[in-house]
Structure 1
Amino acid sequence: MEKVDIRDDRTGPSIAEADVYRRLSNPLDTDHLAINYAEIEPDGQLGLDYHRHRDQEEVFVVTGGTVTFETEDGDVAVRAGEAIRFAPDEFQLARNVDDERATVLALGAPRGSREIQYQRACPTCGKETLQDLELNRETGVFEGICTACGDIAVEVEPS
């Protein structure tokens, strides 16, 4: 058994873009389940951009406020006390479009998803493309590699 206080700052390197982002998997010693807690200010988002995990199922439990998920079927508002599930390969982006802070518990299985694709504009192609997220182990920077032209479309340093 492991117990943690989600108010403790247990953040590690992240590209989550949330105002508060706490990784709970390590302190809870989970083997197969990723667990993260996030607080999203108004006009903020959880996640770098519109994306999908090719190899991970995700569940988001909204514990405060409302989180609006951009999906392939349109926007879906999830309020406190509600949850939403995304299967592998389903695109989504969590945003707080309301006036109050939103809090969410994010669960993903299997833990350690590495096959993430973003859908965004590529500066080389000049159009919206799929981009594979890869960690450059030499620089420690995440790179979005355009699947259409193979160029680095974006570089993101973990915070």
Structure 2
Amino acid sequence: MERVAVDDVDGRIGPAAMVRGLTEPLGLTDLAMNYYELDPGDSFAYAYHNHEIQEEVFYVIEGTATFETESGDVDVGPDEAVRFGREEFQRGWNRGDERVVAIALGAPLSYGESVTLRYCPECEGETDNDLGRADDEAAVVAHCGRCGVETGRWYRGSMAGEVP
């Protein structure tokens, strides 16, 4: 058995006010698990995306999360869960005025290949993006896969450059 207090897990850089990865502290080998706190305007993910082999479930504890999907927006409120299958595009946001608290589960643990679509001002459209660390390791940076221009930059607990 493994046990961990969420507050004892260090937060990491992400597109939300708080992202705490619970996968490693719990010793999970077949399932990814993350705890999120989203301030208004925050997102669960860096981009509208899918995963080749992983399905995801989001369980909302507090607030209402709005998920962009191929068939339109879907609101998920407290004590509700939503599942996204393999290769199904989605991105969840806090578009309300109250904080969203949620748990995300993904299985299997590996994503496989992912497509991460973000708006590129140079290409004037949605393009696949590559995510990586800034040279100083203090930020996660997205670059257009077509032209290389930076399309987003996130620091711990910030949504720099994001517009939901």
**TM-score interval w.r.t. the shorter chain?**
0.7 to 0.9
* Structure 1 counterpart of 2:8: 8
* Structure 1 counterpart of 2:81: 83
Equivalent of residue 70 in structure 2, options 72, 96, 106: 72
CA distance in 1, matches of 2:46, 2:86: 18
CA shift digits 1:107-129 (9 cap, x unpaired): 01121425221222234433222
Q: Percent identity?
A: 39
Q: Post-superposition shift, 1:135?
A: 4.2
Q: Is the 8 A contact 1:19 1:39 kept in 2?
A: yes
* Structure 1 counterpart of 2:114: 116
Structure 1 gap ranges (5+):
none
CA shift digits 1:89-124 (9 cap, x unpaired): 111111112221110100011214252212222344
Q: Post-superposition shift, 1:41?
A: 1.0
Point out which structure has higher relative CO (alpha carbons under 8 A, 6+ apart): 2
Equivalent of residue 152 in structure 1, options 140, 145, 148: 148
CA shift digits 1:26-72 (9 cap, x unpaired): 01000011000000112222111211122311000001111111111
1:20 equivalent in alignment to 2:18: yes
CA distance in 2, matches of 1:26, 1:153: 33
* Structure 2 counterpart of 1:50: 48
Structure 1 or 2: larger strand share?
A: 1
* Structure 2 counterpart of 1:133: 130
CA distance in 2, matches of 1:109, 1:81: 21
Q: Is the 8 A contact 1:57 1:110 kept in 2?
A: yes
* CA gap 1:25/1:101 in 2 versus in 1, 3 angstroms: same
Structure 2 gap ranges (5+):
157-164
Aligned amino acid, residue 130 of structure 2: L
TM-score (normalised: structure 2)? 0.79
Partner SS, residue 7 of structure 1: helix
